[in-house]
């Protein structure tokens, strides 16, 4: 475990320095849906994912309450990614529809959107993925009758490849790491081959921002669930970091740290610790592969350009962990009745690692018996073979 107090964090809730100017990527193109939750609530099968209080594990860790946002099922997929991918794809197609017809696509129900976007069946959506984002893009493409071509790094679990192919997408496994998959997918983009990436680079910022915007639905649900249960305001949250799209969405929702808001904690694998190294350097640092953690969704060597300023300015702590704390978290979550995969368990794994190895335990990051801590658990068992190897039985 490595534990870093972010030396760059800004006090209070200032604007993010170095971020895009207002409206650069956030403005809504002509259309009838203006916030992501409006789209998500139109889609068949929408329901909020559970927010679960794990009292026994909280007591074991020495905190007052441990809340888990359990993103094991979204529209039949075992991860949260469809929330971001669907909004970004809607924005792309709605803009194209408006350019063709001069008005917004009808959107009083999802069937209308399917019909409206059906004329774009000559398009292909493409992206790079370690699993969950690519499957989400493939699923959303299938909703609208559009092809998908997904690029994946070498060594990807066979179950994750098969799951994306099962969505009707073409999968190409590149001879290299996730960063090479990103470069390969980007190089194939064109007028009829649209790149739907959750990471960004110079000249490619709108779609990654829309993906991050899509995740706002998750945090809106959390606010509603906290209020409905009468749970105390959050003292801290822990979010896994790959390229940073989900993290930037969390930091946009809770821009202020203690005492006005929760302590903001990032976790990533020790072998793909690009945020940890970037915070030390004060500028983005790429970590060369191979990135071989079982926490596959965070096996990323380069941060998203547009996510970096918020992470630099607003995270209070960055924790890196090996696979063992994530495995311990998977077992503990299973004992509590929650099926959580390797990347999803990392947020709880970070708390376990600090409790076990930091001098003073969780007090080292300001947490104690009165603290309410939220962990974003981003996936279910996306690799059932490894899940069984870690937990001792198949997902149930």
Active-site residue list = 81, 130
| Sequence-ordered strand ranges (E) for 289-370 | 317-321
Reference 291, options 379, 190, 181; nearest CA is 181
- CA 360 – CA 357 distance, rounded (Å): 9
Which residue has 């870690």 as its token pair?
390
The answer to whether the Cα torsion of 155, 156, 158, 162 is positive or negative is negative
Using the CB atoms, write b or e for 201-224: b if 16+ within 10 Å.
eeeebbbbbbbbbbbbbbbbbbee
The helix (run of H) or strand (run of E) holding residue 308 is: helix 308-314
Residue 20, exposed/middle/buried by CB under 10 A (0-12, 13-18, 19+)? middle
Distance from the Cα of residue 293 to its chain's centroid: 17
Dihedral, CA atoms, 115, 118, 119, 122, nearest 10 degrees? Answer: 180
- Contact (CB, 8 A) for 208 and 74: no
Q: Establish whether the linkage from the previous residue to 199 is cis, with ω within 30° of 0.
A: no
The helix (run of H) or strand (run of E) holding residue 193 is: strand 193-195
- CA 364 – CA 45 distance, rounded (Å): 42
Residues in Cβ contact with 136 at an 8 Å cutoff, skipping those fewer than 6 apart: 77, 79, 81, 82, 84, 85, 86
- CA 153 – CA 291 distance, rounded (Å): 10
């Amino acid at each position: 475990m490595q534990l870093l107090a972010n030396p760059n964090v800004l006090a209070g809730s200032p604007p993010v320095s170095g971020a895009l100017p207002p409206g650069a990527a956030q403005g809504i193109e002509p259309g009838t849906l203006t916030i992501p939750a409006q789209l998500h609530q139109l889609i068949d099968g929408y329901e909020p994912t559970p927010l679960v209080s794990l009292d026994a594990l909280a007591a074991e860790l020495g905190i007052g309450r441990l809340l888990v946002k359990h993103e094991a099922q979204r529209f039949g997929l075992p991860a949260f990614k469809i929330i971001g991918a669907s909004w970004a794809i809607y924005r792309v197609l709605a803009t194209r529809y408006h350019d063709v017809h001069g008005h917004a696509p009808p959107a009083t129900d999802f069937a209308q959107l399917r019909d409206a976007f059906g004329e774009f069946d000559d398009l292909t959506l493409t992206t790079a993925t370690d699993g969950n984002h690519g499957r989400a893009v493939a699923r959303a493409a299938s909703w609208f009758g559009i092809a998908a071509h997904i690029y994946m790094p070498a060594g990807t679990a066979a179950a994750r490849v098969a799951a994306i192919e099962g969505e009707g997408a073409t999968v190409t496994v590149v001879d290299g790491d996730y960063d090479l998959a990103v470069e390969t997918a980007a190089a194939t983009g064109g007028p009829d081959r649209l790149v739907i990436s959750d990471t960004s680079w110079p000249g490619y910022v709108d779609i990654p921002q829309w993906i991050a915007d899509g995740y706002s639905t998750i945090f809106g649900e959390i606010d509603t669930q906290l209020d409905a249960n009468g749970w105390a305001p959050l003292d801290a949250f822990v979010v896994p970091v790959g390229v940073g799209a989900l993290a930037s969405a969390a930091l946009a929702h809770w821009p202020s740290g203690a005492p006005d808001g929760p302590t903001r904690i990032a976790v990533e694998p020790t072998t793909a610790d690009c945020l940890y190294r970037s915070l030390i350097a004060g500028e983005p640092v790429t970590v060369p592969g191979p990135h071989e953690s079982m926490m596959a969704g965070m096996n990323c060597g380069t941060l998203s350009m547009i996510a970096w300023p918020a992470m630099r300015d607003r995270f209070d702590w960055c924790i890196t962990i090996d696979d063992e704390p994530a495995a311990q978290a998977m077992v503990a979550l299973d004992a509590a009745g929650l099926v959580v995969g390797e990347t999803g368990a990392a947020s709880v794994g970070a708390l376990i690692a600090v409790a076990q190895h930091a001098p003073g335990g969780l007090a080292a990051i300001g947490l104690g018996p009165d603290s309410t801590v939220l962990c974003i658990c981003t996936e279910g068992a996306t690799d059932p073979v490894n899940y069984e190897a870690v937990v001792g039985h198949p997902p149930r």
